Amino acid sequence: MFIFVKHKNTYTMSKPRFFQAVLKEVNGNVLDHVYPNLKGKDQITLAERMGSDKANCPDCDCNSWILLPKESVAVAQGGKAYCECMNCGLATHL
Ligand SMILES: [Zn+2]
């Protein structure tokens, strides 16, 4: 928490900056992509993690997901690969 406050003060001294993430489709096994350290090991499958191979959103049935950037607070604090449903915004993690 101390580090966060220190950074916050530093940031308020500079002009505002905004960053936009660019969406790029992940080809292949998304779990290998987000957890490369587990690739080839006994990694959980997409069906186990998302309920089925189709990985449908439980709220709206869409199955396109936006992986949150690793700089996102959810990712940094949660320690997992968070994603959002591209249609309704439901957040979950892989
Ligand atoms: Zn959804």
- Domain assignments of the chain as residue spans, ordered by start: 22-93
Q: How far is the CA of 16 from the centre of ligand 1 (A)?
A: 32
Q: How far is the CA of 3 from the centre of ligand 1 (A)?
A: 35
Q: How far is the CA of 42 from the centre of ligand 1 (A)?
A: 29
Q: How far is the CA of 50 from the centre of ligand 1 (A)?
A: 12
Tell which wins on pLDDT, 88 or 9.
Answer: 88
Q: Alpha carbon of 42 to those of 24, 27, 45, 49, 92: distances in Å?
A: 27, 20, 9, 13, 22
Q: How far is the CA of 56 from the centre of ligand 1 (A)?
A: 8
Averaged confidence pLDDT in the chain: 88
> At a CB cut-off of 8 Å and minimum separation 6, what does 73 contact?
none
Question: pLDDT tens digits for 13-54?
Answer: 789 999 998 999 999 999 999 999 999 898 899 999 999 999
Q: Which amino acid is at 27?
A: N
Tell which wins on pLDDT, 64 or 8.
Answer: 64
pLDDT at 1: 46
> At a CB cut-off of 8 Å and minimum separation 6, what does 83 contact?
65, 66, 67, 68, 91, 92, 93, 94
